[in-house]
């Protein structure tokens, strides 16, 4: 199935890629130090950083995955938007300003400040890599599905090739542009994405006389006429069938709301601003921009459900993730489709670049410099290792992305798994470090490893990986591994179990620890977190 004109689609893709490559190359000329490569020299303004955070956060999951979930499932699909947005209140109130004041380049700078450097930095780096890989998995799958749909290519080999191309571009952005180049790409991408979503929203509402009630009625009528009729206006249509489904809904909501404050690539953006005031301003701008975008996604999702229909969406390459491009084609033909698809492609490229630089920075700064070299590596050595790491991470993400694409998983759902890992492995340790005087190294390690391992194990043995029943529309199981499989954990998202377990293990590890908490270091951390004094000196002690 091909929609639009493949020549026009690839031409618009090419323009977006060319522009971002030029921006990245120009930005590379100012990367003189590790601070430039990791934190854009700490001279990004609060407003710019807020737009860049929105660019980082509004990934393929937000644009393609949520729109598709709303188009197919209605009310339940919008729960992703609510969870993603409410999560920013947790980030604003508990994390943003305090992390900006206490860290230098990575999340581990905060966690290791009053703990033993080696084990804590290693654990934090491993959790950062795990979250980044899950997030990259979703973006790669989204990119492959989008390009497959728009270029009319079919077959596993052709789909794999598109993922490889996206991965190669991602690696180039990070190798050449660093955080500054990535930030500029995200600024442009966020502007284009919000503008594109706004145009589609106005266009859809215009077809229904700018009456939201008429649009919802149209979506409900179309959904009732599909091969599998759905009530897209009532809650719990997707999650309410069984008790397990309801628990899955609670687990998903918990992961979404608590996950943002533990996402390493979002946290790293707070280190690019010069002051704590700018960090707060960044989050406020991000909340407004993201909030408006999710309102647009509601209209786009129901518009796709009304004008395209769930059956056509699920039958297209990319399945649920193809709703927004199909709606763009329905509204404005080949030209609008090409523009919206180009924006979605730029969205994916910007987000994967941000994720890759975060993961590579964590390895180079926390493991190579702080653990292996005991803080003696020069900035140039650290950046070189970060660049090598980005190539390795890119290669792994390409392989996993090909698997996810062929399984046809909803990328909003895949991102929710990344949120569950972040909320389990990172958030409990961050909060304990910032607010609990007695917290010790053993508590930090138990919390990080306990949350990370429990979350990953539950995902591996869940229907996400194997054992999910075959979808009657697509004819394949929405699992990474087809067939009966080996799943025994009934929930698709493990947050309901792994997040409380991580908090408990952090407390238990501290209570059983024979190590005395460093009260003086906690007092210094508290002063620094509240005032910003010495914010750039979070180095091994």
Asked whether residue 427 is assigned to any structural domain, the reply reads no
Asked whether residue 303 is assigned to any structural domain, the reply reads yes
DSSP state, residue 469: P
- 30 pLDDT above the threshold of 80: no
Count structural domains, the chain: 1
Q: What is the mean pLDDT of residues 518-535?
A: 76
167 or 498, higher pLDDT: 498
Evaluate whether 273 touches 45 at the Cβ level (below 8 Å). Answer: yes
Asked whether residue 459 is assigned to any structural domain, the reply reads no
- pLDDT score for 200: 92
- 179 pLDDT above the threshold of 80: no
What pLDDT, in 10s, does the model give residues 377-400?
777 777 788 888 888 888 888 887
For residue 242, how many other CB atoms are within 10 A of its CB?
A: 10
What pLDDT, in 10s, does the model give residues 212-258?
899 999 888 888 888 778 888 877 766 655 556 778 888 888 888 89
- 315 pLDDT above the threshold of 70: yes
d(CA 351, CA 336): 23
- pLDDT score for 91: 79
d(CA 321, CA 430): 33
DSSP state, residue 535: G
What pLDDT, in 10s, does the model give residues 467-502?
766 655 445 566 667 666 777 888 888 989 999 999
- pLDDT score for 300: 93
Asked whether residue 455 is assigned to any structural domain, the reply reads no
421 or 346, higher pLDDT: 421
Question: How does the average pLDDT of the chain come out, rounded?
Answer: 80
- pLDDT score for 504: 96
- pLDDT score for 455: 92
What pLDDT, in 10s, does the model give residues 90-110?
877 787 777 777 766 677 778
Asked whether residue 442 is assigned to any structural domain, the reply reads no
Asked whether residue 38 is assigned to any structural domain, the reply reads yes
- pLDDT score for 423: 92
Q: What is the mean pLDDT of residues 333-361?
A: 79
Q: In 3D, which of 34, 24, 176 has the Cα closest to residue 105?
A: 34
Q: What is the mean pLDDT of residues 311-315?
A: 82
The angle at the Cα of 59, spanning 130 to 258, to the nearest 5 degrees, equals 55
What pLDDT, in 10s, does the model give residues 102-158?
766 677 778 877 888 788 888 988 888 888 888 887 777 777 777 777 776 666 777
Q: What is the pTM of this model?
A: 0.80
Q: Which two tokens stand for residue 440?
A: 């010790």
Please report, for residues 184, 189, 339, the alpha-carbon distance to residue 19 in angstroms, rounded to integers and kept in the order given: 11, 11, 14
3-state secondary structure 15-51: HHHHHHHHHHHHHHCCCCCHHHHHHHHHCCCHHHHHH
- 369 pLDDT above the threshold of 80: no
The string of DSSP letters for 117-151 reads HHHHHHHHHHHHHHHHHHHHHHHHHHHHHHHHHHH
Asked whether residue 476 is assigned to any structural domain, the reply reads no
Evaluate whether 88 touches 286 at the Cβ level (below 8 Å). Answer: yes
Evaluate whether 67 touches 201 at the Cβ level (below 8 Å). Answer: no
The CATH number of the domain holding residue 279 is 1.20.1730.10
Asked whether residue 189 is assigned to any structural domain, the reply reads yes
Tell me phi and psi for residue 533, to 5 degrees.
-65, 125
d(CA 115, CA 521): 9
Q: Which two tokens stand for residue 504?
A: 């408990």
- pLDDT score for 16: 77
Domain that holds residue 43: 6-409
Most confident of 270-274, 299-303, 335-339: 299-303
- pLDDT score for 449: 95
């Amino acid at each position: 199935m091909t929609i639009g004109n493949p020549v026009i689609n690839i031409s618009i893709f090419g323009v977006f890629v060319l522009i971002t490559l030029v921006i990245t190359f120009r930005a590379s000329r100012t990367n003189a130090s590790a601070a430039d490569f990791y934190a854009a020299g700490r001279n990004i303004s609060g407003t710019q950083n807020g737009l860049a955070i929105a660019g980082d956060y509004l990934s393929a999951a937000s644009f393609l995955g949520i729109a598709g979930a709303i188009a197919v499932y209605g009310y339940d699909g919008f729960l992703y938007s609510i969870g993603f947005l409410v999560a920013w209140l947790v980030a604003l109130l508990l994390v943003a300003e305090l992390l900006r004041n206490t860290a230098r380049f990575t999340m581990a700078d905060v966690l290791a400040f009053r703990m033993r450097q080696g084990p804590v930095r290693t654990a934090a780096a491993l959790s950062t890599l795990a979250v980044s890989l899950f997030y990259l998995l979703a973006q790669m799958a989204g990119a492959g599905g989008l390009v497959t749909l728009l270029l009319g290519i079919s077959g596993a080999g052709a789909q794999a090739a598109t993922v490889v191309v996206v991965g190669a571009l991602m690696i180039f952005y990070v190798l050449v542009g660093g955080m500054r180049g990535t930030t500029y790409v995200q600024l442009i991408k966020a502007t284009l994405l919000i503008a594109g979503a706004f145009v589609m929203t106005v266009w859809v509402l215009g077809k229904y006389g700018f009456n939201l009630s008429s649009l919802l009625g149209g979506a409900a009528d179309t959904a009732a006429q599909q091969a599998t009729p759905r009530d897209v206006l009532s809650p719990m249509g997707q999650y309410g069938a069984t008790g397990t489904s309801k628990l899955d809904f609670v687990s998903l909501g918990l992961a979404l709301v608590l996950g943002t404050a533990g996402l390493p690539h979002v946290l790293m953006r707070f280190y690019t601003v010069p002051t704590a005031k700018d960090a707060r301003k960044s989050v406020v701008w991000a909340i407004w921009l993201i909030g408006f975008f999710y309102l647009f996604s509601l209209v786009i999702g129901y518009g796709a459900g009304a004008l395209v229909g769930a059956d056509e969406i699920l039958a297209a390459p990319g399945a649920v993730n193809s709703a927004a491009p199909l709606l763009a084609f329905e509204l404005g033909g080949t030209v609008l489709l090409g523009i919206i698809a180009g924006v979605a492609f730029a969205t994916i490229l910007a987000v994967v670049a941000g994720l890759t630089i975060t993961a590579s920075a964590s390895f180079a700064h926390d493991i190579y410099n702080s653990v292996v070299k005991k803080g003696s590596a020069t900035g140039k050595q650290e950046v070189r290792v970060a660049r090598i790491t980005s190539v390795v991470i890119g290669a792994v993400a390409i392989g996993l992305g090909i698997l996810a694409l062929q399984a046809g998983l909803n990328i909003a759902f895949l991102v929710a798994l990344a949120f569950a890992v972040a909320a389990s492995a990172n958030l409990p340790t961050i909060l304990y470090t910032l607010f609990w005087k007695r917290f010790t190294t053993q508590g930090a390690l138990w919390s990080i490893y306990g949350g990370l391992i429990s979350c990953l194990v539950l995902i591996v043995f869940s229907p996400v990986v194997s054992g999910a029943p075959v979808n009657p529309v697509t004819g394949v199981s929405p699992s990474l591994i087809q067939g009966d499989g080996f799943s025994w954990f009934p929930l698709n998202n493990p947050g309901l179990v792994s997040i409380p377990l991580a908090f408990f293990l952090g407390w238990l590890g501290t209570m059983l620890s024979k190590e005395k908490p460093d009260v003086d270091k906690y007092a210094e951390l508290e002063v620094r977190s509240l005032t910003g004094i010495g914010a750039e000196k979070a180095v091994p002690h």
